[in-house]
Structure 1
Amino acid sequence: MTVSLSDTLVVREVFGPTVQGEGPSTGRRCAFIRLGGCNLTCHWCDTPETWDASRFDLRATLTRRTVEQIVTRALDGEPGMVVITGGEPLLHQQQDGWLSLLAALTFAGTEVEVETNGTQTPTEPTARLVTRFNVSPKLAHAGDPAAKRIRPEALRALHATGKAAFKFVCQGPDDLREVQDFTTAHALDPARVWVMPEGTDTPTLCARLAEIADPAIAAGFNITTRLHVHAWGDEKGH
């Protein structure tokens, strides 16, 4: 595989060391690379500046950086794990910079997590180089039609990597019932499912977690909060 550190990607921000706030790696020290662009329009999205041109000047919020610049910043402080997020990072798979980024991080000895909405099928090189996929399929309350936010072929491909954990954002018990129906329909192992409350402040997260925790555990799911929100609120760059 050819790795070119001069290849580029469109980036919102690179920050860390911090901690992973959600999912199976919650609490682990890491750095984040947030790429631009998304194919969904979740109305509660906490990073709309990566994709929503109706509210943001994307020429100002997004910049094109070289892989060398991205990797150098991400590895500052020796985080041990790098999380590539968005937006929807798997939209970048056809860019030369994507595989150069994954390869450079792998060669540096760091684990690589990719956070994805589950609508994009990973290529073979992507599946090989990524340590873990944090797959977050969107439920009805996100606002997009089911045909747009649920792509069974992509879900099957992500599941088949053996590296996927599935995370669902819930606002209440009704959403949890939707998660149960979803996992049954797509043959997802409940042990690989994490349920997380939606919210951008501690009181909201705690109230919603209290509502969904017991039924989630009874369904065989794991639960997660948003640790970074508890630590830093809704502040960007943590």
Structure 2
Amino acid sequence: MTTLEPITVGTARADGEFWLIVAECFGVEVPTFQGEGPSCGHPALFIRLSRCNLTCAKCDTKHTWDWSRFDPRKESRRQSVAELVAWAASSPVDLVVITGGEPLIQQQRLLPLVHGLLTVGKRVEFETNGTIAPAPELLVDGVRFNVSPKLASFGAVEAKSLVPTSLEAFAASELAAFKFVASTVADLDRIAELAEAHRLAPVWVMPEGTTAEEVIATTRVLADAVAARHWYFTTRLHVLAFADARGR
């Protein structure tokens, strides 16, 4: 059974420093890339936050939320905004990807983090499932959102994973790309329905798979149909390059 630790909006330490619940940070000590979506292949730093509001069966980061399999005391820690900004500032890489889990669960604490990252010359991409609308304070130059709504075929309950008002808020921001994981051409039909209903654009499709062989096979299943719809197609670079190893 999965449970979420309550997170108080805007919580700060006794010294006034904001902190976040973090699963892992990587990309400074061992360089890596953004592996998916519009910035695929760009050198990147990753701040992976812990906790999620969904429980998707095919999730590849269950260590951020599935406490039936993982120990939250071992898989997460509290880190201050100042520590995270200093860590990112130690690298010349300009792109910081804030991912999860679902990072926008901690949205109010993210405001000072994003401000700090922008101040030291970084740009920020959020990887989000699109169920939580972005705060107006996050809709600024230097911030982008890779919104990945989860379909039933991904093991999600669409009544929870598809939130029309949130998706439409991201679309209206003009700062979002919509990245869907797909396994079959039938998934593309469902994506088309959602894109039309909520005016989602641009649409990116990413082949489902946790091994290079699976990604390649699914790519070949989907490629012609994605091209016919004039959508964007992205691979999963971390799977192809690093065998989906954590921290890469």
TM-score range, shorter chain: over 0.9
Q: CA deviation at 1:217?
A: 1.0
Per-residue deviation, residues 27-52 of structure 1 (Å, max 9, x unmatched): 10110000011001111111101011
Q: CA deviation at 1:142?
A: 2.2
Does the residue aligned with 1:101 lie in a helix, a strand or coil? helix
Task: State the alpha-carbon separation in 2 of the partners of residues 136 and 102 from structure 1.
Answer: 20
Task: State the alpha-carbon separation in 2 of the partners of residues 47 and 129 from structure 1.
Answer: 29
Structure 1 contact 102–130 (Cα < 8 Å) conserved: no
Q: CA deviation at 1:144?
A: 2.7
Shifted more, 52-61 versus 23-32: the winner is 52-61
Per-residue deviation, residues 93-149 of structure 1 (Å, max 9, x unmatched): 133xx1110110010111100110010011111122652100000111122322101
Match of 1:127 among 139, 143, 147: 139
- CA, structure 1 residues 5+148, in 2 after alignment: closer, same or farther (shift >3 Å)? same
Output the TM-score relative to the length of structure 1: 0.93
Q: CA deviation at 1:155?
A: 0.6
Task: State the alpha-carbon separation in 2 of the partners of residues 130 and 94 from structure 1.
Answer: 18
Other-structure match for 1:12:
23
Does the residue aligned with 1:199 lie in a helix, a strand or coil? coil
1:6-155 alignment runs, 5 A limit: 6-16=17-27, 17-95=31-109, 98-128=110-140, 131-155=143-167
Structure 2 contact 212–243 (Cα < 8 Å) conserved: yes
Other-structure match for 1:225:
235
Other-structure match for 2:217:
207
Task: State the alpha-carbon separation in 2 of the partners of residues 139 and 112 from structure 1.
Answer: 26
For structure 1, which runs of at least 5 residues remain unmatched after alignment?
none
Task: State the alpha-carbon separation in 1 of the partners of residues 51 and 194 from structure 2.
Answer: 26
For structure 2, which runs of at least 5 residues remain unmatched after alignment?
1-14
Output the TM-score relative to the length of structure 2: 0.89
User: Match of 2:245, as an amino acid?
Assistant: E
Does the residue aligned with 1:59 lie in a helix, a strand or coil? helix
The CA RMSD measured in Å over matched residues stands at: 1.5
Q: Given the alignment of the two structures, is residue 236 of structure 1 paired with residue 246 of structure 2, yes or no?
A: yes
Q: CA deviation at 1:237?
A: 0.5
Query: How many positions carry a matched residue from both structures?
Result: 231
Does the residue aligned with 2:140 lie in a helix, a strand or coil? helix
User: Match of 2:22, as an amino acid?
Assistant: V
Q: Percent of aligned pairs with the same residue?
A: 47
Structure 1 contact 14–74 (Cα < 8 Å) conserved: no
Task: State the alpha-carbon separation in 2 of the partners of residues 169 and 5 from structure 1.
Answer: 40
Structure 1 contact 114–130 (Cα < 8 Å) conserved: no
Does the residue aligned with 2:130 lie in a helix, a strand or coil? coil
Structure 2 contact 88–117 (Cα < 8 Å) conserved: no
Other-structure match for 2:191:
179
User: Match of 1:208, as an amino acid?
Assistant: T
Task: State the alpha-carbon separation in 2 of the partners of residues 38 and 44 from structure 1.
Answer: 14
Per-residue deviation, residues 7-26 of structure 1 (Å, max 9, x unmatched): 21000011103110000000
Task: State the alpha-carbon separation in 1 of the partners of residues 122 and 75 from structure 2.
Answer: 27
User: Match of 2:139, as an amino acid?
Assistant: A
